[in-house]
């Protein structure tokens, strides 16, 4: 950071006048939209950045997640937007699809009063068809991850020739995930005359070099956040995959002693979907989002206050300003990437001196967000374990006991049923205890009262996600081995955490481990901890991924491209008894990575080197048993048959 960089705390001093958004240059429908959202006072990053961006200056901002920087760059873009131009005018690059979605949703909420604005989120895991259709119709703003943006540029389906604004959000995270080369290639394909805003939580040398190369005389803004949370709120988190979230939430609802609860999700559609699933499982749940009319919203909140409703599934916007005493728990079903949103969410509980609980679901690739939350709130959420089947069964038995106790207190009805039971016992000669058990079965219905501890795949799956992070390898040593792709294979782990997968890009396609990690992470929803060793061969690469990888992840990776080439991912079918290769240079190596010495295999081929693109027979010559090796003075044999 240069000495003349502007540094601000997240709030002005008491003696400073606080400008409103009007004074910053926001007007018309954009101003009306943010006022409808409840925005009144700009944050520090917004106060310093918005006037600069509206005025056309490049900005280099250092700000933690949660300081309000999304609005800092989104509002000026919308303020200067030309709705007559159908080619993309603004491009926002984000490191993950979750952040890209959140930024896109923020743009939509800020543009709510601007009819005709077309916005497109572009990220891995979403079908190309939706994105291609939108691009053909014309979009004003594109928010995406570098990998998928690169794919569209390679296909010629994304035209950036009229681009006016480029934003790099969470730039340090993009570089950590190996997107530096992709970002530079994207920047190189944008017009020379454009406005660039770069935001980063830290300012390492790589970010500084990027800014010096692509930003023109930027104004530097540094903001220190002061976000804090209520000390009365107990914060916990559970690492769980997206597919397991509903089951995990259901189990938590069974054992947590809650009065009222708000479950926060990321999108409007998700509020309806999740509320319906909870109702199907017997919970009193309803959804509120920005599309629900105000009278219905007020009626739903009233039901929550009166105890007629127990669970509210909401988006950030819909729950803004909500204050209900019964809310004892807040669940972040989708963790926000903006720590300011996190603080606002969990602040719905623990109000007026009351205690509260906040539980956040974190997918494996969102672990890094915990550090943002800890830094911003100066508190460390505790990791929780998924309630076991024994916990659930104990809770169910306690509730069953309570129901029996309550029924016994209704003496009048008990006497009438005594006569009914006595009549059944006399006529069927069945002990009263058996009759009571049969009545319990009738009352229970089709759903078993108790879970089977021997058949609990959910606990096993979540336990695998929550296992302590191991030092799987020395990080620096691993990176060195990954770069040393001259044929030596990193040591394979024997504990079964990883399974090798083959992808059809290699050294000749100029790929590096960081490109592989970045592409697979964004397309498949993987985190950095999901990758084991990466070995790059001339025409293909071997990537170690979790053994329990869900099939849906592989489905999302089918259409992934790296360096414009389809990776065609599949389990590595190499021979199981191959050993580590000896280091040697690339001279004389064929397409499968073999050395230049002759080789024979078990199909009767001679010893002449043989070229193909299949990568089969993946052993080096020295991996064969000693008696199968030929001597140098032994004449080569001709093939017994042709391929």
Write down which residue in 542, 571, 600 finishes a domain: 571
Q: pLDDT, tens digit, for every residue of 544-588?
A: 998 888 887 888 888 888 877 889 999 987 754 343 333 333 333
Inform me whether the pLDDT recorded for 124 exceeds 50: yes
Predicted pLDDT of residue 524: 78
Domain CATH for 348:
3.40.50.300
Residue 179 covered by a domain: yes
Predicted pLDDT of residue 233: 87
- Read off the pLDDT band of 319 (50, 70, 90): confident
- The whole-angstrom separation of Cα 469 and Cα 466 is 8
Residues 154 and 267 reside in one and the same domain: no
Mean per-residue pLDDT for 225-239? 75
- Read off the pLDDT band of 261 (50, 70, 90): very high
Residues 69 and 210 reside in one and the same domain: yes
Provide the strand spans (E) within 241-375: 260-264, 285-288, 311-314, 327-332, 356-362
Inform me whether the pLDDT recorded for 226 exceeds 80: no
Q: What percent of the chain has pLDDT over 70?
A: 74
Residues 94 and 192 reside in one and the same domain: yes
Write down which residue in 224, 259, 284 finishes a domain: 224
Predicted pLDDT of residue 493: 38
Predicted pLDDT of residue 409: 76
Inform me whether the pLDDT recorded for 431 exceeds 60: yes
Predicted pLDDT of residue 16: 52
Sign, CA torsion 355/383/277/265: positive
Inform me whether the pLDDT recorded for 311 exceeds 90: yes
Phi-psi label, residue 217: left if phi above 0, alpha if psi -120 to 50, beta otherwise: left
Residues 12 and 94 reside in one and the same domain: yes
Q: pLDDT, tens digit, for every residue of 275-308?
A: 999 998 889 999 998 778 878 888 898 899 889 9
Predicted pLDDT of residue 631: 38
Q: How many domains would you assign to the chain?
A: 4
Residue 630 covered by a domain: no
Residues 60 and 33 reside in one and the same domain: yes
Predicted pLDDT of residue 118: 93
Inform me whether the pLDDT recorded for 458 exceeds 60: yes
Nearest to 143 by CA among 78, 84, 210: 78
Helix, strand, coil % in the chain, rounded to nearest 5 = 40, 15, 45
Write down which residue in 176, 201, 224 finishes a domain: 224
Domain CATH for 472:
3.30.70.330
Low-confidence winner among 44-53, 227-236, 459-468 (lowest mean pLDDT): 459-468
- Read off the pLDDT band of 464 (50, 70, 90): low
Residues 151 and 269 reside in one and the same domain: no
- The whole-angstrom separation of Cα 279 and Cα 437 is 28
Predicted pLDDT of residue 142: 96
Q: pLDDT, tens digit, for every residue of 152-202?
A: 998 899 999 999 999 999 888 888 777 888 898 999 999 999 999 999 877
Inform me whether the pLDDT recorded for 70 exceeds 70: yes
Looking up tokens 């199968």 gives 628
Which helix (H) or strand (E) segment holds residue 100: the answer is helix 97-110
Residues 402 and 487 reside in one and the same domain: no
Residues 164 and 293 reside in one and the same domain: no
Backbone angles phi, psi at 439, to 5 degrees: -65, -35
Q: Measuring CA to CA, how many Å separate 138 from each of 100, 129, 158, 191?
A: 19, 14, 10, 19
Contacts of 280 (CB under 8 A, 6+ apart): none
Residues 187 and 245 reside in one and the same domain: no
Residue 516 covered by a domain: yes
Higher pLDDT, 12 or 156: 156
Residue 583 covered by a domain: no
Residue 603 covered by a domain: no
Residue 224 half-sphere exposure toward CB, CA atoms < 13 A: 6
Residue 635 covered by a domain: no
Higher pLDDT, 77 or 448: 77
- The whole-angstrom separation of Cα 73 and Cα 90 is 11
- Read off the pLDDT band of 616 (50, 70, 90): very low
Residues 152 and 257 reside in one and the same domain: no
Higher pLDDT, 144 or 372: 144
Residues 34 and 126 reside in one and the same domain: yes
Residue 82 covered by a domain: yes
Contacts of 538 (CB under 8 A, 6+ apart): 506, 507, 508, 586, 589, 591, 592, 593
Residue 101 covered by a domain: yes
Mean per-residue pLDDT for 374-402? 79
Mean per-residue pLDDT for 501-519? 86
Residue 301 and residue 322 in contact, taking contact as beta carbons nearer than 8 Å = yes
Question: What six digits make up the tokens of 607?
Answer: 């010893």
Predicted pLDDT of residue 461: 62
Predicted pLDDT of residue 342: 85
Instruction: Note the Cα 195 to chain centre separation in Å.
Output: 29
Question: Mean pLDDT across the chain, nearest whole number?
Answer: 76
Predicted pLDDT of residue 113: 92
Most confidently modeled range among 7-16, 231-240, 434-443, 523-532: 231-240
Residue 41 and residue 21 in contact, taking contact as beta carbons nearer than 8 Å = no
Domain that holds residue 533: 468-571
- Read off the pLDDT band of 603 (50, 70, 90): very low
Residue 165 and residue 87 in contact, taking contact as beta carbons nearer than 8 Å = no
Residues 59 and 121 reside in one and the same domain: yes
- Read off the pLDDT band of 630 (50, 70, 90): very low
Predicted pLDDT of residue 66: 59
- The whole-angstrom separation of Cα 582 and Cα 595 is 10
Mean per-residue pLDDT for 100-111? 89
Q: What angle do CA 142, 291, 320 make, to 5 degrees?
A: 90
Residue 365 and residue 423 in contact, taking contact as beta carbons nearer than 8 Å = no
Predicted pLDDT of residue 73: 94
- Read off the pLDDT band of 337 (50, 70, 90): confident
Predicted pLDDT of residue 236: 93
């Amino acid at each position: 950071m240069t000495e003349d960089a502007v540094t601000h705390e997240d709030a002005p001093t008491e003696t400073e006048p606080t400008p409103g958004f009007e004074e910053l240059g926001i007007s018309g429908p954009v101003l009306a939209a943010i006022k409808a959202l409840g925005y009144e006072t700009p944050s520090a990053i917004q106060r310093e950045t918005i006037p600069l961006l509206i005025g056309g200056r490049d900005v280099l901002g250092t700000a933690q997640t949660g300081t309000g920087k999304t609005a800092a760059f989104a509002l000026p873009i919308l303020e200067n937007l030309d709705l007559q131009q159908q080619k993309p005018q603004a491009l926002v690059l984000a490191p993950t699809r979750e952040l890209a979605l959140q930024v896109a949703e923020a743009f939509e909420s800020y543009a709510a009063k601007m009819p005709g604005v077309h916005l497109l989120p572009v990220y891995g895991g979403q079908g190309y068809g939706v994105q291609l259709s939108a691009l053909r119709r014309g979009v004003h703003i594109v928010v995406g991850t570098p990998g998928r943006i690169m794919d569209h540029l390679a296909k010629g389906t994304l035209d950036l020739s009229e681009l006016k604004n480029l934003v790099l959000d969470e730039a340090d995270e993009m570089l950590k995930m190996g997107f530096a080369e992709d970002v530079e290639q994207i920047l190189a394909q944008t017009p020379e005359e454009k406005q660039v805003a770069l935001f980063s939580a830290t300012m390492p040398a790589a970010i500084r070099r990027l800014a010096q190369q692509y930003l023109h005389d930027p104004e530097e803004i540094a903001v220190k956040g002061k976000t804090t949370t209520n000390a009365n709120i107990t914060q916990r988190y559970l690492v769980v995959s997206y597919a397991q979230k509903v089951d995990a939430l259901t189990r938590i609802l069974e054992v947590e002693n809650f009065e009222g609860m708000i479950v926060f999700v990321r999108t409007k559609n998700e509020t309806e979907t999740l509320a319906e699933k909870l109702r199907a499982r017997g919970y009193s749940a309803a959804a509120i989002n920005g599309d629900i009319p105000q009278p219905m919203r007020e009626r739903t909140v009233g039901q929550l206050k009166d105890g007629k409703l127990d669970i509210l599934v909401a988006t950030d916007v819909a729950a803004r300003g909500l204050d209900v005493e019964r809310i004892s728990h807040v669940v972040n079903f989708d963790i926000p990437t903006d720590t300011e949103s996190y603080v606002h969410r969990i602040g719905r509980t623990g109000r007026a001196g009351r205690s509260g609980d906040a539980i956040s679901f974190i997918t494996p690739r969102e672990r890094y967000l915990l550090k943002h939350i800890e830094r911003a709130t100066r508190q460390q959420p505790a990791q929780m374990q998924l309630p076991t089947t024994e916990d659930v069964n104990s809770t169910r038995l306690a509730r069953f006991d309570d129901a029996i106790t309550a029924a016994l207190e209704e003496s009048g009805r008990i006497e009438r049923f005594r006569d009914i039971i006595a009549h059944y016992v006399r006529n069927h000669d069945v002990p009263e205890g058996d009759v009571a058990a049969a009545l319990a079965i009738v009352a229970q219905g089709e759903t078993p009262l108790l879970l089977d501890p021997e058949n609990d795949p959910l606990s096993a799956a979540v336990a695998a996600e929550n296992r302590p992070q191991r030092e799987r390898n020395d990080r620096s040593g691993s990176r060195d081995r990954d770069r040393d792709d001259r044929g030596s294979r990193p040591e394979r782990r024997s504990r079964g955490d990883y399974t090798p997968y083959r992808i059809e890009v290699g050294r000749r396609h100029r790929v590096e481990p960081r490109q592989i990690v970045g592409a697979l992470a964004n397309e498949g929803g993987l985190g950095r901890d999901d990758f084991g060793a990466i070995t790059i061969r001339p025409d293909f690469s071997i990537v170690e991924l979790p053994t329990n990888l869900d099939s849906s992840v592989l489905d999302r990776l089918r259409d992934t491209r790296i360096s414009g080439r389809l990776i065609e991912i599949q389990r590595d079918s190499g021979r199981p008894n191959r050993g580590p290769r000896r280091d040697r240079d690339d001279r004389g190596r064929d397409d499968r990575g073999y050395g230049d010495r002759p080789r024979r295999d078990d199909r009767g081929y001679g010893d002449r080197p043989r070229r193909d693109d299949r990568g089969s027979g993946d052993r080096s010559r020295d991996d064969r048993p000693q008696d199968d090796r030929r001597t140098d003075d032994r004449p080569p044999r001709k093939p017994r048959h042709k391929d």
